[in-house]
Amino acid sequence: MLAYVVRRIAYGVVVVAGVLLLLFVLFFAVTDPNDIARRALGDKVPPDVIEQWKANHGYDKPLWPWQAADNLLFDHFRRMVTFDFGRSDADDAPIVDRIRRGIGPSLVLSVPMFAAGLLLGVVLALFVAFFRETYIDAAGVFVCVLAMSISILLYIIGAQYVVAKLLHWFPISGFDPAPDVVARFLAMPVLVGVLTGFGGDVRFYRTVFVEETSRDYVRTARAKGCGEGRIMLWHVLKNGMIPILTRVVLAIPFLFTGSLLLESFFGIPGLGSITVDAINGNDFSTLRTMVFIFSLLFVVGQIAVDVSYSLVDPRVRLE
């Protein structure tokens, strides 16, 4: 197992290096550093100001290794790999500080959303799978497909209008980390996040569970006198967890990155907002940092999925 994980980490390094190279090509080879500077400073600035800005941000070096030993490509890799992310192109704030401040709000939003979504998804899926091929199941399909078909933007705006503006139950947007009020700010985004996610989850989990109920071991369980409830909660759930894990474990690393749309619409200063602001503000140095972190988390998630397989399925051996 250790050898397997080491090999997977080696693959992961290749993936992340590929992402970094692609980022470099897109941000610095396709877009000229002069353009980046002009976007940050405006069009009508003298050339010496631009040169000064590039020097401050370390963008004044030649791009490629064959042009000079001290070049932008090596610099890009060195900075990312050593987590020396530098300063934002937009406002010169240190990127590391900003990430450190953003992780907290992202986690307090994404962890409850993930836990509630997973619990609701599995429970509802077991429920409709238990009542498979009845009206309850059909109604479940209708509700799930409806929930999946509506855009997240409609949920956000609808919730803000009805729940916040008309009913005044929760603030429209904003964030305050104080423990006694934080839940008021999180209730709506969590609800919207769960609503947008559960349709697809329930459909997927239901398919998994229904497939399991037709297996021979379920027939054996019935023949030994097992009740349907116990069959669902013990035999089927345990076997169904194997495919479900892929989806779930892969999502765990992204709890740190938060949700782009929810955070920016509800004004939660998490990593998702930082990313959206970076995109809107032509903040290349922040954006490349976020993409790099996403890719690292993705690789970690992939390895976690494989390891978790071997934990729930005794047939899986990592070699």
Residue 221 or 261 having the CB closest to other proteins: 221
Whether 259 contacts 107, CB under 8 Å: no
d(CA 72, CA 81): 14
Task: Report in angstroms how near the CB of residue 216 gets to other proteins at its nearest.
Answer: 4
Residue 239 or 289 having the CB closest to other proteins: 239
Q: Does 137 bind other proteins (CB under 8 A)?
A: no
Residue 83 or 217 having the CB closest to other proteins: 217
Number of residues that bind other proteins (CB under 8 A): 21
Q: Which helix (H) or strand (E) holds 306?
A: helix 284-312
For residue 254, what is the DSSP state?
G
Task: Report in angstroms how near the CB of residue 5 gets to other proteins at its nearest.
Answer: 22
Whether 267 contacts 174, CB under 8 Å: yes
For residue 114, what is the DSSP state?
H
Binding to other proteins in span 242-281, by CB under 8 A: 242
3-state secondary structure of 87: strand
User: Which member of 48, 133, 180, 319 binds other proteins (CB under 8 A)?
Assistant: 133
Residue 44 or 315 having the CB closest to other proteins: 315
Task: Report in angstroms how near the CB of residue 241 gets to other proteins at its nearest.
Answer: 8
Residue 133 or 319 having the CB closest to other proteins: 133
Closest CA to 162 of 191, 183, 139, 136: 191
Q: Does 314 bind other proteins (CB under 8 A)?
A: yes
Residue 18 or 227 having the CB closest to other proteins: 227
Give the torsion through C-alpha atoms of 211, 212, 217, 221, to 10 deg: -110
Q: Does 48 bind other proteins (CB under 8 A)?
A: no
Q: Does 315 bind other proteins (CB under 8 A)?
A: yes
H-assigned helices in 69-181: 72-81, 95-130, 135-149, 152-159
The CB density around residue 245, as the number of other CB atoms within 10 Å, is 17
Binding to other proteins in span 185-244, by CB under 8 A: 215-217, 219-227, 235, 238-239, 242
Give the torsion through C-alpha atoms of 261, 299, 23, 52, to 10 deg: 80
Q: Does 56 bind other proteins (CB under 8 A)?
A: no
Give 144's contacts (C-beta < 8 A, 6+ positions apart).
Answer: 198, 199, 200, 202, 203
Read off the tokens for 319.
């070699």
Residue 67 or 220 having the CB closest to other proteins: 220
Task: Report in angstroms how near the CB of residue 314 gets to other proteins at its nearest.
Answer: 4
How far is C-alpha 31 from the chain's CA centre? 27
> Applying CB under 8 A, which part among 10-18, 113-121, 171-179, 306-314 lies near other proteins?
306-314
Task: Report in angstroms how near the CB of residue 123 gets to other proteins at its nearest.
Answer: 20
| Footprint on this chain of other proteins (rule: CB under 8 A) | 133, 215-217, 219-227, 235, 238-239, 242, 312-315
